[in-house]
Structures are given as C-alpha cells and as structure tokens.
Amino acid sequence: MKRDVTRRKFVKKTGMATAAILGIGLIPVSCAPFVYGVHYVEADRIRIPKKEFGRSRFLVIQPQGLKAPVLISKIEEGEYSAVLMECTHKQCTITPAGQILVCPCHGSEYDLRGKVIKSPAVENLITFKVNEDETNIYIY
C-alpha cells in the first residue's frame, strides 16, 4: 500500500525532528550548578564563609579589581581550589561542567585546579592559594 505524504505532513515531521535535534544543543553545558557568594577583603587575603557554598560544589565571587570572577571549587572535603574564570586562549569566561572547567568559545578544558587538559588553550588558568579553617576559606 502506497502512502502519500503531503508537503504539510513532511514539513511538520521534519520540523519536529529538527527541533528535537536542535533542542539537544540547548541543554546547558554545565550540569554542576554554582552560586554567587559573599566575600570579605581583609588585608592580604579574601575570606569566604563556607556556608556560602550551600549545597553547591562551586562558588563564584567577583573581587574588585580583577578582570574576571573567581571560581572556588570544593574538590573534596577539606580541599578547595580557586581559579580566575578567564580562559587563557581567548579570554572567554569558563564554566564548571562536572569534574572539569570548560571554555564555551573554543572548547578548551581544564581540571578543577586550572590545569589544561584539552587545547586550544596551552596555558593553565590563573590560580590562587587557598587555605581554610572550620568556618572560612581564604584566598591569597
């Protein structure tokens, strides 16, 4: 039995398939949420209360005088890293994506400590020294 497909049905079906395919590209790159946190500038360091993390593994702060925000990652209990959220390839803003940091402009990838793991970037991210106590994280 021959089935006639009208132009209208063809456009509708292919349009829905195209929308579904394009929709996949709309899924956010980052499946690891982060929050913007409060920070305090003290003499030679920045203090961030640990409670600012809430349930997130990532916290972003925007210290005055820096050209990009700083991403603080909770790598594991008692270990944090802090990196400038600026790709060293073309200065786009990087975002967390699970266990890596990704540049949405050209696909460079970094580990949570800022080390390049996928080019085109060849230089590691700018990092900051991090210490902690029971209630605060300190960035130098």
pLDDT per position as a tens digit, 41-99? 998 999 999 999 888 889 999 999 899 999 999 998 889 999 999 999 999 999 999 89
Strand, helix or coil at 31? coil
Q: Strand pairing of 100-102 and 109-111?
A: antiparallel
Q: Residue 113: what pLDDT?
A: 97
Domain 29-139: CATH superfamily is Rieske [2Fe-2S] iron-sulphur domain (2.102.10.10)
pTM of the model: 0.74
